[in-house]
């Protein structure tokens, strides 16, 4: 009974580490319900334990036989992550290679301790279990921490190609593991030199994960900087356009002031002779003074320029526009350029979505006002109901219809929201897309 219990603990300690490495880093992007995952993996554990009891009933088992059994029984657990995280083949291969490389590390130390410092020689698995659990407790959390950070940037568009190759790095460490010892039979230890190899392998895994996380984070920051540069360049072009329009308006006002006495004389004459012609003449003068694109949506000049550009373009294309932007000039901690990134990307996407609507109402509604220390921004627009989504990300339809990729603009909006302790969320129905943003303008 004691040997059976020790074998059970042996299985749990080994597979707990493997399951954690294969599931925890990408847990937020799982494509299967948590309850289903727990039930499946519980069945896998029970299946392994049933096999353990079978070996015990037929007269005991050797370490070699037990390890062969664990290898064969592990097939379901190897396949399962590809169902939990569908369409993430390369990321799953990376985590599998990491788990294969990590498993021999606590095992080698545990079996070495069992052979040299066994607590109870009659129960060799007791020392193995105690040492392995202790080693896993110290070595697994740092590795999981780095892997979680690494996979937080796994959705970066520029990193998609990298995942096809970087799984070779932990796989190469696994190759070293196989070449330096018998991978299946951990009781055949070649002395302290092998422990040095295992510790070096663990340090190598940590280094790889750290370097890859740095690369992924740099790619994410570069993508955000490019989008920010595009937004600033776009804002500059819009302000240049508005400046040119103001210069034209100033020139027109100059000429109108010069001709004002002639207009007054004509108005005076028409007032005495023909009232109908007077009204017609006044109406023509009013049309010259009107500036449809000069609408003021908010007191923040930078945001107003962006809003006027996109909403003006929407109105010219027959899109119904409703705007209530209560964004002040002083927005506290939030930089004007960051607000322009949010407003510009959301309105640009809204205009693009309305253009794809074939029939039906085309509209854009945008609203915002300061609430306490927060600034919520809501953009609601009509769209054609076609939603492209992959791995929990909404894909852009602007440039590449054959192979759409993650929208960099929305990623930039999310980055700005995170910068100011806010969020970006969507509410999507059959023909309406609602984007809600919140940023904190005070510390």
Pinpoint the alpha helices (H) of 58-186.
63-73, 75-79, 81-84, 89-102, 104-116, 124-152, 163-166, 168-180
Mean pLDDT, residues 111-122 taken together: 69
Angle CA 329–334–336, to nearest 5:
55
Please give the Cα distance from 408 to 251 (Å, whole number). Answer: 41
262 three-state secondary structure? helix
Which of 84-108 are b and which e, b meaning 16 or more Cβ less than 10 Å from the residue's Cβ? bbeebeebbbbbbbbbbbbbbbbbb
pLDDT band at 148 (very low <50, low <70, confident <90, very high): confident
Q: Environment class of residue 162 by beta-carbon count within 10 Å: exposed (0-12), middle (13-18) or buried (19+)?
A: middle
Task: Delimit the domains of the chain by residue range.
Answer: 2-227, 296-440
Residues 6+ apart with CB under 8 A from 190: 181
pLDDT tens sequence across 290-315: 544 457 788 888 888 888 888 988 99
Mean pLDDT, residues 393-399 taken together: 55
Please give the Cα distance from 18 to 140 (Å, whole number). Answer: 10
**Cα 239 from chain centroid (whole Å):** 32
Beta bridge partners of 366: 323, 379
pLDDT tens sequence across 176-222: 777 766 554 444 445 677 778 788 888 888 998 888 888 887 877 77
Mean model confidence pLDDT for the chain: 76
pLDDT tens sequence across 370-388: 988 899 999 999 988 776 6
* DSSP label of 320: E
Regarding predicted confidence, which is higher, 256 or 373?
373
The label of the residue with tokens 């322009």 reads: 340
pLDDT for res 418: 85
For the cut 60, the answer to whether the pLDDT of residue 55 exceeds it is yes
Residue 70, phi-psi category: left (phi > 0), alpha (psi -120 to 50), beta (remainder): alpha
Reference 195, options 102, 104, 99, 108; nearest CA is 108
pLDDT band at 322 (very low <50, low <70, confident <90, very high): very high
pLDDT band at 436 (very low <50, low <70, confident <90, very high): very high
Please give the Cα distance from 326 to 307 (Å, whole number). Answer: 12
Mean pLDDT, residues 126-148 taken together: 86
* DSSP label of 437: E
| Residues of the chain above pLDDT 70, percent | 68
**CATH topology (fold) of 296-440:** Heat Shock Protein 90 (3.30.565)
Long-range contacts of 299-303 (CB under 8 A, 24+ apart): 299/327, 299/328, 299/329, 300/327, 300/328, 300/329, 300/331, 300/336, 300/339, 301/329, 302/235, 302/239, 302/336, 302/337, 302/339, 302/340, 303/327, 303/336, 303/339, 303/340, 303/343
Please give the Cα distance from 339 to 373 (Å, whole number). Answer: 15
pLDDT for res 229: 74
CB 386 within 8 A of CB 409: no
């Amino acid at each position: 009974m004691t040997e059976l219990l020790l074998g059970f603990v042996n299985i749990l300690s080994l597979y707990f580490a493997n399951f954690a490495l294969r599931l925890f880093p990408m847990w937020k992007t799982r494509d299967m319900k948590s309850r289903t995952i727990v039930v499946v993996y519980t069945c896998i554990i029970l299946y392994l334990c049933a096999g353990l009891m079978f070996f015990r009933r037929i007269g005991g088992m050797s370490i070699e036989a037990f390890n062969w059994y664990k290898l064969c029984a592990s097939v379901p657990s190897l396949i399962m992550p590809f169902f939990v995280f569908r369409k993430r083949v390369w990321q799953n291969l990376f985590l599998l290679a990491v788990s294969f490389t990590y498993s021999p590390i606590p095992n080698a130390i545990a079996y070495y301790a069992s052979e040299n410092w066994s607590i109870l020689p009659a129960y060799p698995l007791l020392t193995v279990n105690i040492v392995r659990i202790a080693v896993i407790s110290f070595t697994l959390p740092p590795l999981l921490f780095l892997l979680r950070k690494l996979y937080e940037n796994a959705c970066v568009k520029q990193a998609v190609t990298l995942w096809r190759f970087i799984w070779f790095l932990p796989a190469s460490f696994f190759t070293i593991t196989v070449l330096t010892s018998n991978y299946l039979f951990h009781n055949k230890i070649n002395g302290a030199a092998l422990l040095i190899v295992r510790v070096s392998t663990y340090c190598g895994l940590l280094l790889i994960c750290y370097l890859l996380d740095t690369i992924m984070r740099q790619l994410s920051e570069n993508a955000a900087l490019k989008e920010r540069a595009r937004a600033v360049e776009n804002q500059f072009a819009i302000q240049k356009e508005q400046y040119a329009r103001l210069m034209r308006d100033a020139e027109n006002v100059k000429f109108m002031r010069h001709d004002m006495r002639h207009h007054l004389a004509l108005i005076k004459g028409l007032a005495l002779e023909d009232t109908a012609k007077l009204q017609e003449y006044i109406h023509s003068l009013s049309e010259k003074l009107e500036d449809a694109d000069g609408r003021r949506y908010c007191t923040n000049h930078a945001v107003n320029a962006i809003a006027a550009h996109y909403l003006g373009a929407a109105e010219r294309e027959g899109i119904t526009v409703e705007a209530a932007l209560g964004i002040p000039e002083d927005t506290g901690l939030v930089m004007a350029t960051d607000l322009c990134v949010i407003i510009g990307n959301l309105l640009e996407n809204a205009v693009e979505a309305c253009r794809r609507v074939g029939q039906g109402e085309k509209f854009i509604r945008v609203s915002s006002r300061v609430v306490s220390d927060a600034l919520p921004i809501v953009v609601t627009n009509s769209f054609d109901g076609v939603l492209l989504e992959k791995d929990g990300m909404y894909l852009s339809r602007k440039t590449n219809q054959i192979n759409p990729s993650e929208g960099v603009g929305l990623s930039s909006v999310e980055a700005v929201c995170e910068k100011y302790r806010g969020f970006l969320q969507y509410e999507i129905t059959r023909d309406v897309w609602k984007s809600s943003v919140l940023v904190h303008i005070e510390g």
